[in-house]
């Protein structure tokens, strides 16, 4: 089995680097309640990794609302985003998820390039609040892409800006749409979260605290199919 090199790590932001996914849910739930229907955490899973307007469409569909004008939708999406930004003001560096800083340190000290590839238009604000921007070479977010995940645009743009080929990239994602987009980009994918929800990922972990041994192996033993060698994460 031919082993491919590992030269770049591309991260989703919400729910991977920082636990902001809870704020999205709180804001969408608040909007649903204002519109007169309940919105569950299970339904919210479909919104992960998806653009704001597409998320709104999914929310409205869950509530059986199909007759809104484009202008009304824009108003609702803006209202949700304002609530979300209010919640973001409570973020601190302590909100970076466990193991992330250590893993980024391993990457940078080993010469691995790093990028954010996020659908969020609030990525600059989030990165500023948690103070990890200096660990990243490139940030691609909803302000600089046209097509949302599962389209591979955000990942391919990150690779271009990093100056690397897609096949030497690892993507770290917590959403099924993001996993699919990374696969379409020709990249290998680590799912961060529940394996059942991220079944298409080449490897799934629940936390970056599990990833240091995998990272050490990945320099010499990761193929398109997963991890080879004496690893507890072997597929």
Say whether 13 counts as a known binding-site residue. yes
Instruction: Look up 14 and say whether it is catalytic.
Output: yes
Catalytic residue among 14, 57, 128, 151: 14
> 47 a known binding residue?
yes
The reply, when asked if residue 71 is annotated as ligand binding, is: no
Catalytic-labelled residue, pool 12, 57, 224, 230 = 12
CB 157 within 8 A of CB 151: no
Number of Cβ within 10 Å of residue 218's Cβ equals 22
Q: Is 19 annotated as a binding residue?
A: no
> Is 231 within any annotated ligand binding site?
no
Q: Does residue 95 have a known ligand-binding role? A: no
Query: Which residue in this structure is represented by tokens 């507890």?
Result: 232
The pair of structure tokens assigned to 153 is: 């645009």
HSE-up (13 A, CA, CB side) for residue 107: 23
120 annotated as a binding-site residue: yes
Beta bridge partners of residue 34, listed in sequence order: none
Is 144 assigned to a binding site? no
118 appears as a binding residue in the annotation: yes
Task: Report whether 102 belongs to an annotated binding site.
Answer: no
Which residue is associated with the tokens 């199919």?
A: 225
DSSP letter for 6, please.
-
Closest CA to 106 of 5, 218, 14, 223: 218
Instruction: Establish whether 224 is a catalytic residue.
Output: no
Q: Is 51 annotated as a binding residue?
A: yes
Q: Is 15 annotated as a binding residue?
A: no
Calpha distance 81→73 (Å, rounded): 12
Radius of gyration (Cα) for the chain, nearest Å?
A: 18
Residue 135, annotated as binding a ligand? no
Cα–Cα distance measured from residue 53 to residue 127, given in angstroms and rounded to the nearest whole number = 22
Q: How far apart are CA 20 and CA 18, in angstroms?
A: 6
> How far, rounded to the nearest angstrom, does the alpha carbon of residue 143 sit from its chain's CA centroid?
15
Catalytic residues: 12, 14
Annotated binding site: which residue ranges?
A: 12-14, 28, 47-52, 55, 80, 118-122, 149, 173-174
Annotated binding site for Mg(2+): which residue ranges?
A: 12, 14, 173-174
Annotated binding site for substrate: which residue ranges?
A: 12-14, 28, 47-52, 55, 80, 118-122, 149
């Amino acid at each position: 089995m031919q082993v491919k090199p590992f030269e770049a790590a591309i991260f989703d932001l919400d729910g991977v680097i920082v636990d902001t996914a809870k704020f999205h849910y709180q804001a969408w739930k608040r909007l649903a309640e204002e519109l007169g229907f309940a919105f569950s955490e299970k339904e919210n899973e479909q919104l992960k990794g998806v653009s704001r307007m597409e998320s709104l469409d999914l929310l409205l569909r869950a509530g059986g609302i199909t007759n809104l004008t484009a202008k009304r939708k824009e108003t609702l999406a803006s209202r949700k985003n304002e609530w979300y930004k209010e919640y973001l003001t409570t973020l601190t560096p302590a909100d970076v998820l466990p193991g992330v800083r250590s893993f980024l340190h391993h990457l940078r000290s080993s010469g691995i390039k790093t990028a954010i590839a996020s659908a969020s238009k609030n990525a600059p604000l989030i990165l500023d609040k948690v103070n990890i921007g200096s660990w990243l070479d490139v940030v691609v977010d909803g302000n600089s892409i046209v097509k949302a995940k599962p389209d591979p645009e955000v990942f391919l743009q990150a690779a271009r800006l990093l100056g690397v080929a897609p096949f030497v990239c690892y993507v770290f994602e917590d959403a099924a749409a993001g996993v699919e987009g990374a696969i379409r980009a020709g990249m290998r994918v680590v799912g961060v979260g529940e394996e059942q929800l991220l079944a298409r990922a080449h490897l799934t972990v629940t936390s970056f605290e599990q990833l240091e041994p995998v990272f050490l192996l990945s320099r010499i033993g990761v193929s398109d199919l997963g991890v080879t060698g004496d690893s507890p994460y072997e597929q």
